[in-house]
Structure 1
Protein backbone atom coordinates (compact mmCIF):
# COMPACT_ATOMS: atom_id res chain seq x y z
CA UNK A 1 0.00 0.00 0.00
CA UNK A 2 1.10 3.57 -0.30
CA UNK A 3 1.28 5.03 3.20
CA UNK A 4 2.66 8.56 3.11
CA UNK A 5 3.61 10.52 6.21
CA UNK A 6 4.35 14.15 6.81
CA UNK A 7 6.44 15.44 9.69
CA UNK A 8 7.50 19.06 10.31
CA UNK A 9 11.16 18.00 10.60
CA UNK A 10 11.31 15.11 8.12
CA UNK A 11 8.94 16.54 5.51
CA UNK A 12 6.97 14.14 3.31
CA UNK A 13 8.16 10.58 3.89
CA UNK A 14 7.32 7.60 1.69
CA UNK A 15 7.23 4.82 4.27
CA UNK A 16 8.53 2.21 1.84
CA UNK A 17 11.78 4.16 1.35
CA UNK A 18 14.95 2.35 2.43
CA UNK A 19 17.92 4.10 4.05
CA UNK A 20 21.13 2.14 3.35
CA UNK A 21 23.40 3.95 5.81
CA UNK A 22 21.42 4.77 8.92
CA UNK A 23 19.78 7.56 10.79
CA UNK A 24 20.49 10.68 12.67
CA UNK A 25 22.87 13.59 12.79
CA UNK A 26 26.07 11.54 13.11
CA UNK A 27 25.73 10.25 9.56
CA UNK A 28 24.49 13.62 8.35
CA UNK A 29 27.67 15.26 9.64
CA UNK A 30 29.86 12.60 8.02
CA UNK A 31 28.00 13.14 4.74
CA UNK A 32 26.94 9.51 4.45
CA UNK A 33 23.42 9.58 5.88
CA UNK A 34 20.01 9.78 4.29
CA UNK A 35 19.88 13.58 4.76
CA UNK A 36 16.94 13.04 7.13
CA UNK A 37 16.94 13.45 10.89
CA UNK A 38 15.58 9.96 11.66
CA UNK A 39 16.45 8.12 14.84
CA UNK A 40 16.15 4.49 15.91
CA UNK A 41 12.54 3.74 16.99
CA UNK A 42 11.40 7.25 16.05
CA UNK A 43 7.59 7.35 15.73
CA UNK A 44 5.88 8.76 12.65
CA UNK A 45 2.20 8.82 11.69
CA UNK A 46 1.00 8.24 8.14
CA UNK A 47 -2.11 7.81 6.02
CA UNK A 48 -3.23 5.48 3.22
CA UNK A 49 -6.52 6.10 1.36
CA UNK A 50 -7.72 2.47 1.74
CA UNK A 51 -6.18 1.53 5.11
CA UNK A 52 -6.58 4.82 6.98
CA UNK A 53 -4.11 6.17 9.53
CA UNK A 54 -1.12 4.30 10.86
CA UNK A 55 1.81 4.62 13.21
CA UNK A 56 5.37 3.63 12.26
CA UNK A 57 8.82 3.28 13.83
CA UNK A 58 12.27 3.48 12.19
CA UNK A 59 14.69 0.57 12.76
CA UNK A 60 17.62 -1.29 11.22
CA UNK A 61 17.20 -4.69 9.60
CA UNK A 62 19.12 -7.58 11.14
CA UNK A 63 18.40 -9.94 8.24
CA UNK A 64 16.58 -10.26 4.94
CA UNK A 65 12.99 -9.15 5.51
CA UNK A 66 10.13 -9.09 2.98
CA UNK A 67 7.45 -6.39 3.05
CA UNK A 68 4.58 -7.60 5.25
CA UNK A 69 6.80 -9.67 7.54
CA UNK A 70 5.93 -9.49 11.24
CA UNK A 71 9.19 -8.53 12.95
CA UNK A 72 10.54 -8.43 16.49
CA UNK A 73 12.87 -5.67 17.66
CA UNK A 74 16.10 -6.73 19.39
CA UNK A 75 18.20 -4.17 21.25
CA UNK A 76 21.97 -3.89 21.36
CA UNK A 77 24.52 -1.29 22.42
CA UNK A 78 26.95 0.00 19.79
CA UNK A 79 30.65 0.61 20.48
CA UNK A 80 29.75 4.31 20.79
CA UNK A 81 27.23 3.54 23.55
CA UNK A 82 24.17 4.05 21.35
CA UNK A 83 21.14 1.74 21.67
CA UNK A 84 20.31 0.19 18.28
CA UNK A 85 16.98 -1.53 17.65
CA UNK A 86 17.37 -4.27 15.05
CA UNK A 87 14.36 -5.85 13.32
CA UNK A 88 14.30 -9.54 12.40
CA UNK A 89 11.46 -11.85 11.39
CA UNK A 90 9.43 -12.80 14.49
CA UNK A 91 11.01 -16.06 15.70
CA UNK A 92 8.01 -17.14 17.78
CA UNK A 93 9.88 -17.81 21.01
CA UNK A 94 7.25 -18.83 23.58
CA UNK A 95 6.34 -16.24 26.24
CA UNK A 96 9.02 -13.80 24.98
CA UNK A 97 7.06 -10.55 25.29
CA UNK A 98 8.94 -9.26 22.21
CA UNK A 99 7.89 -5.88 20.80
CA UNK A 100 6.53 -6.43 17.26
CA UNK A 101 5.94 -4.47 14.06
CA UNK A 102 5.28 -5.08 10.35
CA UNK A 103 7.94 -4.34 7.70
CA UNK A 104 6.80 -1.72 5.18
CA UNK A 105 9.45 -2.62 2.58
CA UNK A 106 11.83 -5.43 1.69
CA UNK A 107 15.12 -4.91 3.54
CA UNK A 108 18.51 -6.61 3.69
CA UNK A 109 20.98 -6.72 6.59
CA UNK A 110 22.03 -3.28 7.79
CA UNK A 111 19.42 -1.27 5.88
CA UNK A 112 17.06 1.04 7.77
CA UNK A 113 13.33 1.24 7.13
CA UNK A 114 9.88 1.80 8.60
CA UNK A 115 7.84 -0.75 10.55
CA UNK A 116 4.13 -0.36 11.24
CA UNK A 117 3.01 -0.59 14.88
CA UNK A 118 -0.46 0.99 14.70
CA UNK A 119 -3.43 0.97 12.33
CA UNK A 120 -4.25 -1.44 9.50
CA UNK A 121 -1.23 -3.32 8.12
CA UNK A 122 -0.90 -5.79 5.25
CA UNK A 123 0.88 -8.92 6.54
CA UNK A 124 2.00 -12.31 5.32
CA UNK A 125 -0.29 -15.01 6.71
CA UNK A 126 -1.19 -18.68 6.53
CA UNK A 127 -4.53 -20.40 6.97
CA UNK A 128 -7.97 -18.90 6.51
CA UNK A 129 -8.34 -15.94 8.87
CA UNK A 130 -11.49 -13.86 9.01
CA UNK A 131 -12.06 -10.44 10.53
CA UNK A 132 -11.89 -10.57 14.31
CA UNK A 133 -9.66 -13.67 14.57
CA UNK A 134 -6.80 -13.54 17.07
CA UNK A 135 -3.26 -13.60 15.67
CA UNK A 136 -0.64 -16.29 16.38
CA UNK A 137 2.91 -16.98 15.22
CA UNK A 138 3.00 -19.64 12.49
CA UNK A 139 6.49 -19.47 10.97
CA UNK A 140 9.34 -16.92 10.89
CA UNK A 141 7.54 -13.60 10.37
CA UNK A 142 4.29 -15.27 9.28
CA UNK A 143 1.04 -15.20 11.29
CA UNK A 144 -2.13 -17.29 11.35
CA UNK A 145 -5.45 -17.54 13.20
CA UNK A 146 -4.49 -21.06 14.29
CA UNK A 147 -3.83 -21.22 18.04
CA UNK A 148 -0.21 -21.79 19.00
CA UNK A 149 0.21 -21.94 22.79
CA UNK A 150 2.32 -19.10 24.26
CA UNK A 151 2.81 -17.46 20.83
CA UNK A 152 -0.07 -15.01 20.46
CA UNK A 153 0.45 -11.57 18.91
CA UNK A 154 -1.17 -9.35 21.52
CA UNK A 155 -2.43 -5.92 20.52
CA UNK A 156 -3.44 -7.25 17.09
CA UNK A 157 -6.37 -8.98 15.39
CA UNK A 158 -7.21 -9.91 11.82
CA UNK A 159 -9.19 -7.17 10.09
CA UNK A 160 -9.78 -9.08 6.83
CA UNK A 161 -9.55 -12.46 5.17
CA UNK A 162 -6.73 -13.06 2.64
CA UNK A 163 -7.02 -12.21 -1.06
CA UNK A 164 -9.28 -9.18 -0.70
CA UNK A 165 -9.28 -6.02 -2.83
CA UNK A 166 -8.32 -2.77 -1.12
CA UNK A 167 -9.43 0.47 -2.78
CA UNK A 168 -11.11 0.73 -6.15
CA UNK A 169 -10.48 1.64 -9.75
CA UNK A 170 -6.93 2.21 -10.98
CA UNK A 171 -5.55 2.41 -7.42
CA UNK A 172 -7.06 -0.90 -6.26
CA UNK A 173 -4.66 -3.42 -4.73
CA UNK A 174 -5.55 -7.12 -4.70
CA UNK A 175 -3.92 -9.03 -1.85
CA UNK A 176 -2.61 -12.52 -2.55
CA UNK A 177 -3.88 -15.71 -0.89
CA UNK A 178 -1.07 -15.29 1.67
CA UNK A 179 -1.81 -11.65 2.55
CA UNK A 180 -4.40 -10.23 4.95
CA UNK A 181 -4.87 -7.04 6.95
CA UNK A 182 -4.24 -6.85 10.70
CA UNK A 183 -5.40 -4.10 13.04
CA UNK A 184 -2.38 -3.20 15.17
CA UNK A 185 -2.17 -1.36 18.49
CA UNK A 186 1.51 -1.43 19.50
CA UNK A 187 1.65 -5.25 19.29
CA UNK A 188 3.86 -7.55 21.31
CA UNK A 189 4.38 -11.28 21.60
CA UNK A 190 2.64 -12.99 24.49
CA UNK A 191 4.59 -12.78 27.73
CA UNK A 192 4.73 -15.17 30.67
CA UNK A 193 1.46 -16.13 32.30
CA UNK A 194 1.74 -16.37 36.08
Structure 2
Protein backbone atom coordinates (compact mmCIF):
# COMPACT_ATOMS: atom_id res chain seq x y z
CA UNK A 1 0.00 0.00 0.00
CA UNK A 2 1.15 3.55 -0.43
CA UNK A 3 0.50 6.03 2.33
CA UNK A 4 0.57 9.68 1.29
CA UNK A 5 0.89 12.41 3.87
CA UNK A 6 0.17 16.09 3.75
CA UNK A 7 1.59 18.50 6.28
CA UNK A 8 1.26 22.31 6.19
CA UNK A 9 5.06 22.66 6.54
CA UNK A 10 6.29 19.63 4.60
CA UNK A 11 3.66 19.60 1.86
CA UNK A 12 2.72 16.31 0.19
CA UNK A 13 5.12 13.54 1.23
CA UNK A 14 5.25 10.06 -0.28
CA UNK A 15 6.16 8.07 2.82
CA UNK A 16 8.04 5.40 0.86
CA UNK A 17 10.57 7.98 -0.36
CA UNK A 18 14.10 7.48 1.02
CA UNK A 19 16.29 10.38 2.15
CA UNK A 20 19.96 9.36 1.70
CA UNK A 21 21.55 12.41 3.33
CA UNK A 22 19.44 13.21 6.36
CA UNK A 23 16.79 15.72 7.25
CA UNK A 24 16.87 19.18 8.68
CA UNK A 25 17.48 22.78 7.72
CA UNK A 26 21.25 22.41 7.26
CA UNK A 27 20.77 20.20 4.21
CA UNK A 28 18.12 22.53 2.87
CA UNK A 29 20.54 25.44 3.02
CA UNK A 30 23.54 23.73 1.40
CA UNK A 31 21.44 21.95 -1.23
CA UNK A 32 22.45 18.39 -0.38
CA UNK A 33 19.27 17.32 1.42
CA UNK A 34 15.94 16.05 0.29
CA UNK A 35 14.27 19.42 0.49
CA UNK A 36 12.29 18.40 3.57
CA UNK A 37 12.22 20.35 6.80
CA UNK A 38 11.87 17.24 8.95
CA UNK A 39 13.80 15.94 11.93
CA UNK A 40 14.57 12.74 13.82
CA UNK A 41 11.35 11.30 15.34
CA UNK A 42 9.18 14.03 13.85
CA UNK A 43 5.58 12.87 13.59
CA UNK A 44 3.48 13.01 10.42
CA UNK A 45 0.01 11.71 9.61
CA UNK A 46 -0.87 9.96 6.37
CA UNK A 47 -3.69 8.17 4.60
CA UNK A 48 -4.06 5.05 2.45
CA UNK A 49 -7.45 4.20 0.88
CA UNK A 50 -7.38 0.55 2.03
CA UNK A 51 -5.58 0.91 5.37
CA UNK A 52 -7.03 4.24 6.54
CA UNK A 53 -5.15 6.87 8.50
CA UNK A 54 -1.76 6.36 10.08
CA UNK A 55 0.94 8.12 12.06
CA UNK A 56 4.62 8.01 11.11
CA UNK A 57 7.97 9.12 12.53
CA UNK A 58 11.26 9.81 10.75
CA UNK A 59 14.40 7.89 11.77
CA UNK A 60 17.76 6.83 10.36
CA UNK A 61 18.39 3.18 9.49
CA UNK A 62 21.11 1.51 11.57
CA UNK A 63 21.38 -1.39 9.10
CA UNK A 64 19.52 -3.00 6.23
CA UNK A 65 15.79 -2.97 6.91
CA UNK A 66 13.05 -4.48 4.72
CA UNK A 67 9.64 -2.85 4.39
CA UNK A 68 7.33 -4.33 7.03
CA UNK A 69 10.10 -4.97 9.55
CA UNK A 70 9.17 -4.17 13.15
CA UNK A 71 11.98 -1.89 14.35
CA UNK A 72 13.20 -0.58 17.68
CA UNK A 73 14.53 2.96 18.01
CA UNK A 74 17.98 3.31 19.56
CA UNK A 75 19.24 6.72 20.64
CA UNK A 76 22.71 8.20 20.26
CA UNK A 77 24.29 11.65 20.19
CA UNK A 78 25.93 12.69 16.91
CA UNK A 79 27.64 16.11 16.76
CA UNK A 80 25.66 17.11 19.85
CA UNK A 81 22.31 16.08 18.37
CA UNK A 82 20.14 13.17 19.49
CA UNK A 83 19.63 10.75 16.59
CA UNK A 84 17.12 7.93 16.69
CA UNK A 85 18.43 4.96 14.72
CA UNK A 86 16.07 2.18 13.68
CA UNK A 87 17.09 -1.49 13.78
CA UNK A 88 15.10 -4.70 13.49
CA UNK A 89 13.44 -5.37 16.86
CA UNK A 90 15.93 -7.61 18.67
CA UNK A 91 13.40 -9.02 21.13
CA UNK A 92 15.33 -8.32 24.33
CA UNK A 93 12.98 -9.43 27.11
CA UNK A 94 11.34 -6.69 29.20
CA UNK A 95 13.23 -3.93 27.34
CA UNK A 96 10.40 -1.43 26.97
CA UNK A 97 11.82 -0.43 23.56
CA UNK A 98 9.76 2.02 21.49
CA UNK A 99 9.01 0.45 18.11
CA UNK A 100 7.61 1.23 14.67
CA UNK A 101 7.13 -0.52 11.35
CA UNK A 102 9.40 0.29 8.37
CA UNK A 103 7.35 1.73 5.50
CA UNK A 104 10.10 1.20 2.89
CA UNK A 105 13.31 -0.80 2.52
CA UNK A 106 16.33 1.11 3.87
CA UNK A 107 20.08 0.60 4.08
CA UNK A 108 22.41 1.86 6.79
CA UNK A 109 22.48 5.65 7.07
CA UNK A 110 19.36 6.31 5.03
CA UNK A 111 16.42 8.17 6.57
CA UNK A 112 12.87 6.93 6.20
CA UNK A 113 9.42 6.80 7.77
CA UNK A 114 8.27 4.27 10.37
CA UNK A 115 4.60 3.71 11.16
CA UNK A 116 3.61 4.10 14.81
CA UNK A 117 -0.17 4.50 14.45
CA UNK A 118 -2.93 2.93 12.38
CA UNK A 119 -2.93 -0.23 10.27
CA UNK A 120 0.59 -1.34 9.32
CA UNK A 121 1.67 -4.21 7.06
CA UNK A 122 4.26 -6.31 8.92
CA UNK A 123 6.36 -9.40 8.43
CA UNK A 124 4.98 -12.24 10.55
CA UNK A 125 5.28 -15.94 11.30
CA UNK A 126 2.66 -18.43 12.42
CA UNK A 127 -1.06 -18.20 11.83
CA UNK A 128 -2.33 -14.97 13.40
CA UNK A 129 -5.98 -13.97 13.18
CA UNK A 130 -7.60 -10.62 13.83
CA UNK A 131 -7.51 -9.77 17.52
CA UNK A 132 -4.46 -11.89 18.42
CA UNK A 133 -1.82 -10.29 20.66
CA UNK A 134 1.60 -9.62 19.13
CA UNK A 135 4.93 -11.12 20.26
CA UNK A 136 8.53 -11.04 19.03
CA UNK A 137 9.43 -14.13 17.00
CA UNK A 138 12.70 -13.29 15.23
CA UNK A 139 14.64 -10.11 14.40
CA UNK A 140 11.95 -7.68 13.19
CA UNK A 141 9.35 -10.45 12.80
CA UNK A 142 6.22 -10.86 14.94
CA UNK A 143 3.89 -13.74 15.75
CA UNK A 144 0.78 -14.53 17.83
CA UNK A 145 2.78 -17.17 19.74
CA UNK A 146 3.40 -16.03 23.31
CA UNK A 147 7.04 -15.42 24.29
CA UNK A 148 7.67 -14.44 27.92
CA UNK A 149 8.74 -10.80 28.29
CA UNK A 150 8.50 -10.11 24.55
CA UNK A 151 4.95 -8.89 23.92
CA UNK A 152 4.39 -5.85 21.72
CA UNK A 153 2.12 -3.57 23.74
CA UNK A 154 -0.10 -1.09 21.93
CA UNK A 155 -0.56 -3.49 19.01
CA UNK A 156 -2.77 -6.37 17.92
CA UNK A 157 -3.21 -8.33 14.72
CA UNK A 158 -5.89 -6.79 12.50
CA UNK A 159 -5.82 -9.53 9.82
CA UNK A 160 -4.55 -12.99 9.07
CA UNK A 161 -1.68 -13.35 6.56
CA UNK A 162 -2.30 -13.42 2.81
CA UNK A 163 -5.43 -11.25 2.79
CA UNK A 164 -6.38 -8.99 -0.11
CA UNK A 165 -6.47 -5.26 0.61
CA UNK A 166 -8.16 -2.74 -1.65
CA UNK A 167 -10.31 -3.35 -4.70
CA UNK A 168 -9.97 -3.59 -8.44
CA UNK A 169 -6.68 -2.48 -9.98
CA UNK A 170 -5.56 -1.05 -6.62
CA UNK A 171 -5.91 -4.37 -4.78
CA UNK A 172 -2.85 -6.13 -3.39
CA UNK A 173 -2.66 -9.55 -1.80
CA UNK A 174 -0.31 -9.91 1.13
CA UNK A 175 2.10 -12.86 1.16
CA UNK A 176 1.86 -15.79 3.57
CA UNK A 177 4.38 -13.94 5.78
CA UNK A 178 2.57 -10.59 5.83
CA UNK A 179 -0.34 -9.46 7.98
CA UNK A 180 -1.76 -6.17 9.19
CA UNK A 181 -1.26 -4.91 12.74
CA UNK A 182 -3.28 -2.17 14.39
CA UNK A 183 -0.65 -0.09 16.20
CA UNK A 184 -0.93 2.81 18.63
CA UNK A 185 2.58 4.04 19.54
CA UNK A 186 3.65 0.45 20.32
CA UNK A 187 6.42 -0.55 22.68
CA UNK A 188 8.07 -3.79 23.73
CA UNK A 189 6.92 -5.17 27.04
CA UNK A 190 8.65 -3.55 30.00
CA UNK A 191 9.79 -5.10 33.25
CA UNK A 192 7.19 -6.77 35.43
CA UNK A 193 7.68 -6.21 39.15
Q: TM-score, with normalisation over the residues of structure 1?
A: 0.99
Deviations 1:133-157 (A, max 9, x none): 0000000000000000000000000
The alpha-carbon deviation at position 30 of structure 1 amounts to 2.2
1:1-194 equivalent positions in 2, closer than 5 A: 1-78=1-78, 80-194=79-193
Unmatched 5+ stretches in structure 2: none
The alpha-carbon deviation at position 8 of structure 1 amounts to 0.7
In the alignment, the residues of structure 2 paired with residue 19 and residue 188 of structure 1 have an alpha-carbon distance, to the nearest angstrom, of 25
Q: TM-score, with normalisation over the residues of structure 2?
A: 0.99
Secondary structure of 2:113's aligned partner: strand
Unmatched 5+ stretches in structure 1: none
Q: What RMSD over aligned residues (CA atoms) do the two structures have, in Å? A: 0.5
Deviations 1:118-176 (A, max 9, x none): 00000000000000000000000000000000000000000000000001100001000
In the alignment, the residues of structure 1 paired with residue 76 and residue 116 of structure 2 have an alpha-carbon distance, to the nearest angstrom, of 20
In the alignment, the residues of structure 1 paired with residue 109 and residue 30 of structure 2 have an alpha-carbon distance, to the nearest angstrom, of 18
The number of aligned residues is 193
Runs of 4+ that moved beyond 4 A: none
The alpha-carbon deviation at position 27 of structure 1 amounts to 1.5
Secondary structure of 2:58's aligned partner: strand
